[in-house]
Chain A
Amino acid sequence: MIYLDNSATTRQYDEVTELMYRVAKETYGNPSSLHSLGFEANNMLTDARRDMESFMATGGEIVFTSGGTESDNMALVSTARKMKRRGKRIITTEVEHPAVLETCKRLAEDGFDIVYAGVDDTGLVKTEDLMQAMTDDTIMVSVMTVNNESGTIQPVNEIGRMIRDYNKKHGTGIVFHTDAVQAFGKLPFSQLDADLVSVSAHKFHGPRGTGFLYMRKDLKLPAFITGGGQENHYRSSTENLPGIAGMALAAKMSYEKLDAKMARMCEVNDHLYKGLTAELKDVVLNGPKELGCSISSAGSGSAHTAVRCPAVLNLTFRGTRGEVLLHTLEQDGIFVSTGSACASHKTGDSHVLSAMGLDHKAIEGAIRFSFSEFNTVEEMDIVIDKVKMAVNRFRKLGSFR
């Protein structure tokens, strides 16, 4: 089996599974309980929190959540609630995850004014659009760190700087959120500069149903889930200790020898891209050509070129349908994903690829390969061979589609 759908979810580390089993079996006390079993659980929770904090910039709080979607919801909704008297404008991009876009839609129904910045053909957000949209009425900007479909690394640090400058100049308090679900565990993280950061454990070999929202210390958002007061009152609910402990271990393991892992992922990514473009005609890369291994390497000005996270390679094979390729490859034990959910309906097209300017045909023929540290160059040779066969087979019938 060659699993190349790591942006969807990853295989959990065995060590994480074993730890979670142990925690569920042995450390089952409620961290809020006063007895020693509860104390033990609380210690484990505190350790996990400290572990996660060590990956973040400085002086922030970690609020454990049920995952990326909840973190995004909490970031947007709680900020909007807190700031609603200061302004109504929220700026985001057209290529965000539905967890952000759908939440923005809901906020728009509640009277907020949502502005969507566009992206260029590599998926890079147009920072000048963001800048232009900023007004005294703006309360929040939300831009993802790495796009899940194109792998484009957004210039989040540059955007963070722009917002700080704007705040200084205009006396505004614009909050900057970034959905870093596709970045954490895959790119160095300590340089990331944002007020709110969403992270999900199952994207870096941790468990599902666990994630966190990092919050700048002085932000003081209102509670998102009310109840027993857990998670410093931000998010009540008895803590998912096996999940949280599992996430902390997965984070530690992901960041172990990260440089070597990134170098290998670059090699794997590059090998697959070069192999496929050498073997097949009419293969188009959806996303930046150059791979980048840090968040700060991304930029939009003339000094920078757009870069792509080494975990993602999105290609359009012209004259084919991604869904057919996907089902062909799955027969050989190769698992990928497509740019279109259903070939016969345009409504299933990826909003990300649409925003990048791809037409329906190009989206229909798009395949996303997404890698993890477990993938190898040898695997890619098999993938190249199988993709080549599949594409050639179906291009013969291509006149129909």
Chain B
Amino acid sequence: MEKKLYIVRCGEVALKGMNKPYFERILLERVRKAIECYEDAEARWIDGLMFVRIPADIPEDEVIGRCVRVFGVASVSPAIEAPKDINEIGRLAAEYMLQIIEEEGVKTFKVKGKRADKSFAVQSPEIGKQVGAIILKTCKVLSVDVHDPDVLLTVDVRREGAYIFRDKIKGFGGLPLGTNGKGMILMSGGIDSPVAAFMMAKRGMSIEAVHFHSYPYTSQRAQKKVEDLVKVLAGYMGTIRMHVVNLLPIQEQIVQNCPEDETTLLVRRFMMRIAEQIAVKNHNMMLITGEDLGQVASQTAEALVVTDSVVKMPVMRPLIAMDKVDIMDKAREIGTYDISIQPYEDCCTVFLPKHPVTKPKLARIEKSEAALDVQALVDAAVASEEIIEIRP
């Protein structure tokens, strides 16, 4: 089977110093994993670029889609390989342009030459000129436009061959998954937490999830929604383990024994404690939340101090300084938004006080909490966890 070439560029990985081989190796593994579903697919590094070869009958968009979802990938270009001969390069480039004209009816073009291999006799500007001339001769409908061409064709002459490509499809950048420890996301059914998990994973962190529900106050459909969200994330990160904990027994205790206006905060403190215990048990180094400064009463600066004070583990809040609209845009970009806006109740809204405290005092909260057997409640919750594995 004939194969098509895709050039994959890494972003930040290239900037690494001593550790570069490590990052490159992991990124290669991740890309290989992403394309393992294709028979005979191959990927390898050559002089700082990753060359991916996929059987030619697989649609280009599909392959690109798989590659750009790998964290650490800056961009991907489908490319044509040519021998290191300027006339051959010109002929293949012209052939490629004919195909583009037929498909898109373009009128103008420009060729940009690049010469990584300095032993190649033709210099970069000259590569552009010569290949352009051949294209002009073959494709009569085209003219050159150096400022705003319909098609910008790049010819890259490298040590092992010459490559012709057109588009650079952007990836998410970041660092390869698994190069930066493991964190536990507190996953609700909302817009924020999937984005928070995504952003940490993009920096190389492996993700495990914990989800709290209040069944029968919340429904199975609400949990299915969370599973659907995690499934989208699994499309970027591979199988994700999710710990599911029913918070209702704790919420009942809080509602019956503590001041109403502190309910949400007290519940969140329990969430953090339970998440930390599960995180430790499963070798996660930190917690991740989708909290966003000032978004709701429980996310004011004072409230964050109060929730943070119950855990020792660092708590990552990658959205903390983002505006809601930007978080929403990000959610749309990664494909979780439409699931997040389904109207199922989650455990946070079940016992919403009418007037929640927005500037809680730690001492007062701790006093309210003294009415509860905190450790016993946390232990019982942790013991009752269910674990599900969510595959992409």
Contacts and interface: CB of A to CB of B under 8 A. Distances in A.
B351 A345 contact: no
B219 A323 contact: yes
Interface in A298-334: 321, 323-324, 326-328, 330-331
A374 B255 CA distance: 40
A118 to B, nearest CB: 29
A8 interface: no
Nearest to A328: B216
A324 B216 contact: yes
Contacts of B215: 327
Interface string B349-365: 10111000000000000
Contacts of B255: 397, 399-400
Interface string B225-252: 0000000000000000000000000001
A345 B343 contact: yes
A343 interface: yes
A274 B260 CA distance: 36
Contacts of A331: 216
A401 to B, nearest CB: 9
A323 B27 CA distance: 48
Contacts, number: 36
A323 B349 CA distance: 14
A342 B345 contact: yes
B345 A344 contact: yes
Interface size class of A (residues with CB under 8 A): 10 to 19
Contact of A397 (B219, B220, B252, B349): B252
A397 B256 contact: yes
A327 B223 CA distance: 13
B351 A342 contact: no
B260 A327 contact: no
Q: Give chain A's interface secondary structure class.
A: helix
B217 interface: yes
A323 B218 CA distance: 8
A397 B216 CA distance: 13
Contacts of A25: none
Interface string B314-345: 00000000000000000000000000000111
B125 to A, nearest CB: 64
**Max count, chain A CB within 10 A of own CB: residue among B216, B219, B256, B263:** B216
Contacts of B352: 400
Most buried by B among A323, A324, A328, A344: A324
Contact of A400 (B216, B343, B353): B353
Contacts of A343: 345
A345 B342 CA distance: 12
Contact of B219 (A327, A344, A396, A399): A327
B343 A399 contact: no
Interface in B243-275: 252, 255-256, 260, 263
Contacts of B344: 342
B358 to A, nearest CB: 19
Contacts of A345: 343
B216 A327 contact: yes
Contacts of B349: 344
A400 B345 contact: no
B217 A327 contact: yes
- Between A323, A342, A343, A400, the greatest number of chain B beta carbons within 10 A of the residue's beta carbon is seen for A400
Contacts of B345: 342-344
A321 B349 CA distance: 14
A324 B260 contact: no
A399 B260 contact: yes
Contacts of B263: 400
Contacts of A321: 217
Nearest to A400: B351
B189 to A, nearest CB: 13
A1 B260 CA distance: 38
Contacts of A397: 252, 255-256, 351
A330 B217 CA distance: 12
Contacts of A326: 216
A331 B215 CA distance: 10
A321 B216 CA distance: 11
Contacts of B353: 400
B110 to A, nearest CB: 54
Contacts of B351: 397, 400
B372 to A, nearest CB: 15
A235 B255 CA distance: 58
Given A397-B252, A400-B353, A342 B343 contact: yes
Nearest to A325: B216
A326 B252 CA distance: 18
Contacts of A330: 216
Contacts of A396: 252, 256
Contacts of A328: 216
A326 B217 CA distance: 9
B246 to A, nearest CB: 12
B260 A400 contact: yes
Contacts of A399: 255, 260
Contacts of A323: 219
Interface in A100-151: none
A196 to B, nearest CB: 36
A396 B345 CA distance: 20
What 10 pairs across the A-B complex have the smallest Cβ distances? A327-B216, A328-B216, A397-B255, A324-B217, A400-B351, A324-B216, A342-B343, A327-B219, A344-B345, A344-B349
Interface of B: 215-220, 252, 255-256, 260, 263, 343-345, 349, 351-353
Given A326-B216, A330-B216, 4 more contacts: A327-B215, A343-B345, A399-B260, A400-B255
27 contacts: A321-B217, A324-B216, A324-B217, A326-B216, A327-B215, A327-B216, A327-B217, A327-B219, A328-B216, A342-B343, A342-B344, A342-B345, A343-B345, A344-B343, A344-B349, A396-B252, A396-B256, A397-B252, A397-B256, A397-B351, A399-B255, A399-B260, A400-B255, A400-B260, A400-B351, A400-B352, A400-B353
